[in-house]
Chains A and B, each alone.
Chain A
Amino acid sequence: MTTTTRRLVVAAAAALALGLGATACGSDGGKTGADVAPTATGSASAAAPKLSGEVNVFAAASLTGTFTELGKKFETNYPGVKVKFNFGGSSALAQSINSGAPADVFAAASTSTMKTVSDAGGVNGTAANFVRNTLTIAVPKGNPKHVATLKDLTTPGVKVALCAKEVPCGAAAVTALKAAGVDLTPVTLEQDVKGALTKVELGEVDASLVYRTDVKADAAKIDGVDFPEAEKAVNDYPIAALAKAPNKDGAAAFVAYIQSAEAKQVLTAAGFQAP
């Protein structure tokens, strides 16, 4: 009985593995031999190799708006290529890449998050910082609690949401608060920057520390209050083609495109700064 069970367990495992493998195969457009990546200079559409298939891009939640737009432009530049995005907390994305998720490109909201992937040997070449982002205080439209500085967040009766220190926006918040010498007790530690922003939008908290770009994207409902200590907590956003990318050419082309002049325009318009 036990050997039968063991055999069956193995069979079940094999069946599962097979299923997963099939999905992985289905999602890429087949490998091509050429590893030579076009360099990140000038317009990406120039001298492009013939690209095909899908490019799976794992990107930080704070890149949702800009990357969706850039993905469409990239597809126009390279007809026949489809860009698929997986937006989320950078750390969670890094974990799934390290666990073997079939990703071609990773764009993180902090260099330390990218480092967890490159340390695991997951990055093809070196990661390049393409933009930087700073924090701002997000408050409901009209700033009802009259928040003007970080110190104001400690006023009794002001409820604050922060990102958990495990994710880049939380790490940056810790740095900024330390630089300002402000000891702040938030009511909640959210799992990504969008979570912290939503709590302000719903009116459940009076303020939160989020990226300047998030406030800009949500300007209809949210006001931003800039503070000087934000300069001490700058997050660089690195992007890299991944070592196990199923679509190596596509990955290299996308990384190059994000660093192109056309992409820079979109990113700066959204409030990102040049690295």
Chain B
Amino acid sequence: MSTRTASRSVPAGADGPSPGRPRRRRAAARLPVTLLLPALLGLGFLVLPLVGLLVRAPWSALPEQLTSPGVWEALRLSLFCATAATGVSLVLGVPLAWLLARTEFPGRRLVRALVTLPLVLPPVVGGVALLLVLGRRGIVGRWLDSAFGITLPFHTSGVVLAEAFVAMPFLVISVEGALRAADPRYEEAAATLGASRLTAFRRVTLPLIAPGIGAGAVLAWARALGEFGATITFAGNFPGKTQTMPLAVYLAMERDPEAAIALSLVLLLVSVAVLVGLRDRWMSTP
């Protein structure tokens, strides 16, 4: 994440205040075609499917599709669960990132690799793993069930956990990068002035890395919103309780592709709005 924010700040500085526009145009013209061609192909490849969604959208039937109670139930649940999962990620992920960035302990690289594992793990594998640990017959889940009568699968909390599992690494990586970029001497200065370690973290470090936390939180939220594999494997699928938008889209596709397209549009719209609205604010400043 830190490398991306760094590279973003370079063209902004090179643009300069007033002659920015012509200079940027010249820069584009200088770009070798060998790079421009694959770049534009890449852009088309990523954007065309979304265009296809817009082209095939059943516009006339859209109001009817979108006002069905099931859609709002799924959307509401999706927004709630993604936000809750981001909350869980913040509470657990920021301290974890701090541990990785500011302390030295044996096996730290291994821990770091394990923390980022859900990024590359197929989500459905994550769902199976969660089920085996937190399910009714799972190592921890069995105890939760017998001692408290709590079963996490088939419950909204299960959705939140599944989403947090796949989304938290985004936050941890982002915050860890911000922490590594932040100068620890500020914290040391605060400590010499009599601040406790926690006060220094709260009053000095946190404001310093706030953009990094914000960027991580947005990424985690967006990832949680789109989560499918772990959710359907671990939390199941029941309208109003565990059926988030991606699950609703998948099932709609089985019978009624038009409804699936309509649902996809809503999810696309929400995701784009969040990324466009928050990305620049949080991610452009280092």
Contacts and interface: CB of A to CB of B under 8 A. Distances in A.
Contacts of A9: 40, 44, 48
19 contacts: A8-B41, A8-B44, A12-B41, A13-B44, A89-B254, A91-B254, A164-B251, A164-B254, A166-B251, A187-B153, A187-B236, A188-B153, A188-B236, A188-B242, A189-B251, A190-B237, A191-B237, A191-B254, A204-B131
B238 A189 contact: yes
A80 to B, nearest CB: 36
Interface of B: 37, 40-41, 44-45, 48, 131, 135-137, 151, 153-154, 232, 236-239, 242-243, 250-255, 257
Contacts of B153: 187-188, 204
A186 interface: yes
A189 B254 contact: no
Contacts of A12: 40-41, 44-45, 48
A204 B41 contact: no
Interface residues of A, number: 29
Contacts of B243: 189
A161 interface: yes
Interface of A: 4-5, 8-9, 11-13, 15-16, 89, 91-92, 95, 159, 161, 164, 166-167, 186-191, 199, 202-205
Contacts of A13: 44, 48
Given A8-B40, A187-B236, 20 more contacts: A8-B44, A11-B41, A12-B44, A13-B48, A89-B254, A166-B252, A166-B254, A186-B238, A187-B154, A187-B238, A188-B236, A188-B238, A190-B236, A199-B236, A203-B135, A203-B136, A203-B137, A204-B135, A204-B137, A204-B154
A92 B250 CA distance: 9
Which secondary structure characterizes the binding site on chain A? mixed
A95 B249 CA distance: 14
Contacts of B37: 8
Contacts, number: 76
Nearest to B252: A166
B270 to A, nearest CB: 23
Contacts of A8: 37, 40-41, 44
A8 B151 CA distance: 52
Contacts of A91: 254-255
B237 A188 contact: yes
Nearest to B42: A12
B40 A202 contact: no
A202 B255 contact: no
A92 B253 contact: yes
A92 B232 CA distance: 16
Given A202-B131, A204-B131, A167 B45 contact: no
A199 B135 CA distance: 10
A250 B47 CA distance: 39
Contacts of B137: 202-204
A75 to B, nearest CB: 31
Contacts of B232: 191
A9 B238 CA distance: 40
Contacts of A190: 236-237
A164 B248 CA distance: 11
Given A202-B137, A203-B137, A95 B237 contact: no
B242 to A, nearest CB: 7
Contacts of A95: 253-254, 257
Contacts of A166: 251-252, 254-255
A186 B241 CA distance: 11
A166 B257 CA distance: 12
Contacts of B242: 188
A191 B250 contact: yes
B254 A92 contact: yes
A203 B251 CA distance: 24
